[in-house]
Amino acid sequence: MCGIVGLFLKDQSLAPELGNMLTDMLITMTDRGPDSAGIAIYGDGAQGKTKITLQSPNAESDFANLAEDLGKSLGATVTQNDISTHTVLEIPAGQFEAARDALAEIRPDVRIMSRGDTLEIYKEVGLPKDVAERFNLSGMTGTHGIGHTRMATESAVTTMGAHPFNTGSDQCLVHNGSLSNHNSLRRKLRREGVVIQTENDTEVGAAYLTWKMMNGASLGEALESSLDDLDGFFTFVVGTKDGFGVVRDPIACKPAVMAETDQYVAFGSEYRALVNLPGIEDARVWEPEPATVYFWTHNDSTTPSQKAA
């Protein structure tokens, strides 16, 4: 069992409240996942910069002078913003791979939580309310975000095993369920050059979507093909820089409730997670269909709400 929450804002006047609303939803899902919790949030991004969110078990020593040291290695200006066990670095765009290699040299213990133009991921072991407090999640702002509360079944309870997973720029995925063909798929994806950091099944699901999109698929198409290529139980909620998607396996035994108003699209493992959202009484509330891809985007070239299947 795990808990998933997600919020995609259509009305950007709610952006300052995004962290607050998501945190409330996340803590409500504590019963479904008290092991660890995490949140992916799509906030501000600076032109020409890439954000890297890092975590370290020795944050104090690892983060000391980190921006300066990494800046020297890259020959560029790097900024850092420490939040508890995490820090968000801003590096020049296009330098992520160089930064990853440099970090392995200068700070071998840090782990990369996420990378992207606007995405930041914060996740830790512990009760959702403690994780939320540690990172002051309720104070975060953004256009959309996804949260997860974990009750581990498939791999160890560690920071790296917590969700969301980020396997490509600005992509994130959370999962309720378990995948049964993750070992063979992990080997295949690694051969294809996709970086997979853990033995966790969900990271393989995320890496699969990244690999599909690397090869030209849209998020909708990647989700569609996941129904054929992933074996197991899953309700996935995924984020991209401007999009938000949901898909459930054909058996659909992992719960899912969605709500849509003029202001937002919301996802919860249970309706309980949605009850404090503004205007929920008059929202369209429904259970997403099995084996059906749902996808929303801020990109004006597509319709704001579409069922890609």
Residues that are catalytic: 2
Q: For residue 249, which amino acid is it?
A: D
Q: Decide if residue 96 touches other proteins (CB under 8 A).
A: no
Decide if 32 contacts 3 (C-beta within 8 A). Answer: yes
Alpha-carbon distance of 88 to 116, in angstroms, equals 11
User: Which listed residue (17, 188, 271, 302) binds other proteins by CB under 8 A?
Assistant: 271
Q: Which one among 285, 292, 302, 308 touches other proteins, defined by CB under 8 A?
A: 285
With a CB cutoff of 8 Å and minimum separation 6, the contacts of 177 are 2, 232, 233, 234, 235, 249, 254
- Smallest separation (angstroms) from other proteins to the CB of 54: 36
State the binding string over 49-88 for other proteins (x if CB under 8 A, else -). Answer: ----------------------------------------
Nearer to other proteins, 46 or 253 (CB): 253
Q: How far is the CB of 10 from other proteins (least distance, A)?
A: 23
d(CA 38, CA 267): 15
Note whether 278 binds other proteins by CB under 8 A: no
By CB under 8 A, name the one of 65, 105, 287, 304 that touches other proteins: 287
Nearer to other proteins, 102 or 266 (CB): 266
Q: What are phi and psi of 110, to 5 degrees?
A: -75, 150
Q: Which position among 129, 134, 188, 272 is part of the footprint of other proteins (CB under 8 A)?
A: 272
Beta-bridge partners for 260? 265, 284
Decide: is 275 part of the binding site for other proteins (CB under 8 A): yes
Within 8 A by CB and 6+ apart from 162, the residues are: 35, 36, 37, 38, 123, 124, 125, 148, 150
Provide the 10 A C-beta neighbour count for residue 251.
Answer: 12
Indicate whether 309 belongs to the interface with other proteins (CB under 8 A).
no
Kindly list the residues in this chain that would bind other proteins in the complex (CB under 8 A): 250-253, 255, 257, 270-275, 285-287, 289-290
